[in-house]
Amino acid sequence: MEFEELKSMWRKYDSKLDNLERMNKKIILETLLTRPRKKLRWVKYKSIYTLIAVPVIILIVVFPHLKQENLDLKFFVGSMLTIAVIAYVSYFQFKSYSILKRINLETDSVLESAIKISNFKTLYNTRWKHAAIYYPIIYIGLLLITWKSFNFNIKTIIFLTVVFIITYIANIKGPKIYRDRMERLEKEIMNLKEYTD
């Protein structure tokens, strides 16, 4: 066998190895992308759900109180406070969804995806830093709207206080769990870097 034939065979073999390596990387990347895709879909769904659910739930709570005899100063002040908080939360949810919608794990580089997730986390953290302020405002707003439905005695006051404390704690603890999930998603995406280079 001549030297040129050996070189030619070696090139073909080398080419096959390169193709095999590319295919392996592609298969590994596809496998590793499965979890981040699911998590990203879940976050997008949750973002849309919150955007729609918060106003709908509040409307369900408020609707029975939209009676002529309930329309007083408390009702209007409560409505203004509630609408202001809904607008604020909806604005952040819409911005969050816009950022998430632009993330495309198939076409974006790992760095681009990580930057977009980092932007989402920053926006999310800003919103939840303000939750300590806006949650009591919306609670007071809803309380003012439904004021005439309550017969204020010690049991009612204790009940309303307990509901506030439980929901307030849930509003403070919930975002930490969500942030942790987003950090894990960011790490999973960064782990893809070696397979995309």
Whether the per-residue pLDDT at 195 is higher than 60: the answer is no
Quote the pLDDT of residue 94: 86
Side chain identity at residue 14, one-letter code: D
50-93 tens-digit pLDDT: 888 888 888 887 777 777 777 788 888 988 998 998 898 888 88
Instruction: Give the angle subtended at the CA of 92 by the CAs of 112 and 105, to the nearest 5°.
Output: 25
Quote the pLDDT of residue 44: 81
State the Cα–Cα distance between residues 145 and 77, nearest whole angstrom.
Answer: 8
State the Cα–Cα distance between residues 52 and 47, nearest whole angstrom.
Answer: 9
Query: What contacts 125, CB < 8 A, 6 or more positions away?
Result: 179
Quote the pLDDT of residue 32: 61
Decide if 83 contacts 148 (C-beta within 8 A): no
Confidence of residue 3 (pLDDT cuts 50, 70, 90): low
- Domain residue ranges in the chain: 3-196
Note the pTM of the prediction, 2 decimals: 0.67
Quote the pLDDT of residue 84: 92
Confidence of residue 101 (pLDDT cuts 50, 70, 90): confident
Quote the pLDDT of residue 104: 79
**What is the average pLDDT across 7-21?**
70
Quote the pLDDT of residue 66: 75
**What is the average pLDDT across 103-123?**
77
State the Cα–Cα distance between residues 185 and 170, nearest whole angstrom.
Answer: 23
130-174 tens-digit pLDDT: 777 888 888 888 888 888 877 778 888 888 889 888 888 877 776
For residue 26, what are its two tokens? 């592609």
Q: Which of 89, 83, 93, 103 is nearest to 41 (CA)?
A: 103
Quote the pLDDT of residue 25: 63
19-43 tens-digit pLDDT: 766 666 666 656 666 777 787 788 8
State the Cα–Cα distance between residues 51 and 191, nearest whole angstrom.
Answer: 31
Quote the pLDDT of residue 154: 86
